[in-house]
């Protein structure tokens, strides 16, 4: 907001103290949309706009991710509403990442599980130095490993680390050699079961290219899970 009148130092201090004393819940979005027309017209955008950020980054990223459950990819850049049920990897999340990276024609139609995670962080007002914005899962997990923020599945299984809501879980299917190739956002960990919201998956157990946003669960003994990464959230 731009203030056009001169305000005395006393009034400024009073306003600052008032602002600090009120524990406000800040809306996740302003009225100035930054979404495609296709996405803005759909229910997933409306769900998103109904979210209020709390300042608890773990809760906020989970709430954003949960709002997108059921979203499906499109077959063209005009099919980003979430109801296209296409097969071209076109998503609002990829479009956002494409614009972020200034690489037109690239990421908007790429495999999108990591871009979904990055988009959720961005919508939750979480900076990229807390949740690394990435399109390639190997880059993402390596970023956390280098900062000692990554735990193996075995460390979770033996009790060294307890997954928290908002953590990132990296998976490894039979594709891509020994490299992780899928990622999701942890919703909760309870009684040895890990629950996560994932993009570009489906209801199949180990799907890493299913075209949907789904809430899924895994026993921690499942070797599909490779790393749990714990960002330095507020």
DSSP labels for 156-211? Answer: HHTTS----TT-EEEE--SSSTTS--EEEEEEEEETTEEEEEEEEE-SSTT-SS-S
Whether 98 maps to a domain, the answer reads yes
Confidence of residue 178 (pLDDT cuts 50, 70, 90): confident
Residue 234 forms part of a structural domain: no
The residues near 165 (Cβ < 8 Å, ≥ 6 apart) are 58, 59, 62, 186, 187, 188
Tally: H helices and E strands in the chain = 8, 8
Do 178 and 172 meet the contact criterion of CB atoms below 8 Å apart? yes
* Closest to 133 (Cα-Cα) out of 122, 124, 144: 122
In-domain check, residue 113: yes
Closest by alpha carbon to 131, among 65, 178, 66, 194?
A: 65
Residue 198 lies in a domain: yes
Please check whether residue 233 is in contact with residue 125, taking contact to mean a CB–CB distance below 8 angstroms. no
Q: What are phi and psi of 65, to 5 degrees?
A: -60, -45
Model pTM above 0.95: no
Higher pLDDT, 9 or 131: 131
Is residue 202 included in any domain, yes or no?
yes
- Condensed to tens digits (0 to 9), the pLDDT of residues 102-157 reads 555 568 788 999 999 999 999 999 999 999 999 999 999 999 999 999 999 999 99
Average pLDDT on 204-220 reads 96
What's the structural domain count of the chain? 1
Answer yes or no: is 17 within a domain: no
In-domain check, residue 38: yes
Structural domain range at position 89: 29-229
45 and 35 in contact (C-beta within 8 Å)? yes
Joined tokens for residue 120: 């959720």
Residue 14 belongs to some domain of the structure: no
pLDDT at 200 (0 to 100): 98
């Amino acid at each position: 907001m731009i203030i056009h009148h001169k305000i005395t130092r006393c009034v400024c201090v009073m306003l600052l103290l008032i602002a600090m004393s009120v524990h406000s819940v800040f809306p996740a979005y302003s009225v100035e949309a930054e979404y495609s027309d296709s996405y803005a017209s759909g229910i997933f955008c409306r769900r998103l706009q109904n979210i209020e950020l709390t300042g608890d980054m773990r809760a906020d990223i989970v709430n954003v991710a949960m709002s997108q459950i059921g979203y499906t990819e499109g077959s063209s850049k005009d099919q980003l509403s979430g109801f296209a049920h296409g097969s071209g990897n076109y998503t609002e999340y990829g479009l956002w990442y494409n614009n972020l990276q200034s690489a037109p024609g690239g990421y908007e139609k790429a495999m999108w599980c990591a871009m979904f995670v990055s988009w959720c962080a961005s919508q939750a007002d979480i900076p990229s130095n807390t949740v690394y914005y990435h399109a390639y899962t190997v880059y993402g997990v390596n970023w956390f490993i280098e900062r000692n923020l990554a735990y193996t599945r075995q460390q979770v299984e033996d009790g060294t680390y307890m997954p928290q809501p908002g953590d990132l879980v990296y998976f490894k299917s039979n594709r891509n050699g020994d490299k992780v190739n899928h990622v999701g956002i942890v919703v909760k960990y309870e009684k040895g079961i890990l629950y996560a919201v994932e993009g570009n998956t489906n209801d199949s157990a180990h799907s890493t290219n299913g075209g949907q946003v789904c809430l899924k669960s895994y026993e921690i003994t499942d070797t599909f899970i490779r790393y749990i990464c714990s960002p330095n959230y507020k």
